[in-house]
């Protein structure tokens, strides 16, 4: 941001918004962070989804306090909506409802219905819809007889404190609840949560991730059931998340360049990672079986998969094309919970998680390993092989190098960096 614009914005914050001069620099700091987040995007093209992605990064990756997230969000909104006069909330139909308190829902059932409508308009993941809905139901139970229209910010503060003291939840769980409540107040009830600095926050503890040795990985993979082994092998081979694995589509596999493309990963970012040659033949054989299944579905009037965003409306027949099919489809057809359309979805995350859990037990591994442990092991084994940490960061899709550096601590803890004195006795 240009120095003059920064100076004018600081004056606007102090004189128009009444923010103490000693605090305006923090608002400017968050705005600069957001502008760095959107990169070269033209300011006229900034939308609410950009702010949502920025907030998610602060909460999920940087573990910022709730009051800092609120301050950052306010700074961005003040700058675009009021300072520049470019309200990126204005074009959203649900924003109009947010700006009119008289239209705020009066029952919790109406709140949940409004939640579904807004999240689907903004193309949020179905899992996010379920998570937010779950937190709002728990918050409603905590509030007792209080109706949504009677809620005050203090109720949210009490609930977050309750989670920390009575629920003893982790910092990430409390932040997830905060995200849901922030959405409830700001986007459904049309209110701001205000200053949350006095809210008791769950303490964040950075844990050293569980990592398997290469022989342990081999033992684990050998005990994964055959029908899920290829997917689990791919997670270790490419370092992808289980959610990214199940969402892979045929067109995301590039055998010629030996890479796969992760679409809309964490933070809605695309990235390229490894597709080792050792898996090419097993994957090609697997895809032949998947294609035969797809042709069977087409023959009986099915064969259409869900398309992301609005592509289904733009290209009505694309969902039946081979290139859009999931690499790891479900064994059964199912009803789409949003549209009621019968489709073949991808294999569920919990299916792979359960398969790995059983394999850990069968392999007699004395570590608390999970399917995500294979991603940790992928990163650690690359660093052990002396690959550049920034290259590993790109493969994992980490926005911040500090997130990748946790694996260097794993190397240190493993004894590779320090020799015990008992070795010299």
Active site residues: 241, 266, 372, 375, 398, 407
CB of 220 within 8 A of CB of 360? yes
Q: Is 25 helix (H, G, I), strand (E, B) or coil?
A: helix
Residue 213 CA, chain-centre distance (Å), reads 28
> 139-168: string of b/e by CB count within 10 Å (b at 16+)?
bbeebeeeebeebeeebbbebbbebbeebe
Selection from 365, 333, 371, 338 nearest residue 352 by Cα: 371
CB of 258 within 8 A of CB of 276? yes
CB of 315 within 8 A of CB of 270? no
Neighbours of 346 (CB within 10 A): 21
CB of 158 within 8 A of CB of 50? no
Q: What is the C-alpha separation between 95 and 99, in angstroms, rounded?
A: 6
The two tokens of residue 311 are 């592509």
């Amino acid at each position: 941001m240009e120095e003059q614009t920064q100076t004018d914005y600081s004056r606007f914050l102090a004189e128009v918004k009444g923010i103490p001069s000693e605090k305006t620099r923090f608002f400017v700091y968050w705005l600069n962070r957001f502008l760095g987040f959107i990169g070269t995007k033209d300011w006229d093209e900034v939308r609410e989804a950009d702010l949502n992605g920025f907030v998610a990064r602060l909460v999920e990756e940087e573990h910022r306090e709730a009051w800092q997230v609120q301050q950052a969000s306010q700074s961005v909104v003040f700058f675009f909506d009021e300072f520049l006069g470019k309200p990126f909330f204005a074009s959203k139909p649900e924003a109009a409802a947010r700006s009119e308190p008289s239209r705020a829902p009066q029952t919790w059932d109406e709140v949940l219905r409004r939640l579904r409508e807004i999240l689907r308009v903004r193309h949020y993941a179905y899992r996010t819809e379920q998570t937010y809905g779950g937190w709002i139901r728990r918050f409603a139970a905590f509030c007792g007889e209080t109706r949504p229209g009677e809620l005050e910010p203090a109720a949210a503060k009490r609930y977050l404190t309750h989670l920390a003291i009575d629920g003893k939840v982790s910092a990430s769980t409390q932040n997830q609840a905060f995200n849901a409540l922030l959405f409830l107040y700001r986007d459904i009830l049309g209110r701001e949560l205000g200053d949350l600095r006095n809210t008791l926050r769950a303490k964040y503890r950075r844990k050293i991730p569980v990592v398997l040795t290469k022989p342990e990985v081999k033992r684990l993979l050998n005990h994964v059931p055959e029908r899920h082994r290829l997917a689990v092998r791919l997670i270790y081979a490419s370092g992808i998340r289980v959610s990214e694995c199940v969402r892979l589509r045929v067109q995301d596999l590039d055998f010629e360049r030996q890479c796969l493309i992760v679409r809309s990963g964490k933070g809605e970012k695309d990235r390229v990672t490894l597709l080792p040659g050792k898996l090419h033949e097993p994957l090609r054989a697997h895809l032949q079986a998947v294609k035969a299944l797809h042709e069977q579905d087409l023959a009986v009037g099915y064969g259409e998969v869900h398309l992301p965003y609005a592509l289904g409306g733009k290209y009505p027949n694309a969902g039946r094309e081979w290139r859009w099919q999931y690499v790891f489809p479900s064994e059964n057809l199912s009803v789409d919970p949003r549209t009621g359309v019968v489709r073949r979805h991808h294999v569920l995350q919990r299916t792979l998680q359960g398969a790995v859990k059983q394999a850990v037990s069968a392999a007699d591994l004395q570590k608390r390993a999970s399917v995500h442990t294979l991603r940790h092991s992928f990163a650690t084994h690359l660093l052990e092989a002396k690959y550049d940490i920034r290259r590993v960061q790109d493969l994992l899709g980490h926005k911040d190098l500090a997130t990748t550096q946790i694996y260097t601590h794993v190397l240190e803890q493993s004894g590779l960096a320090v020799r015990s004195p008992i070795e010299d006795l």
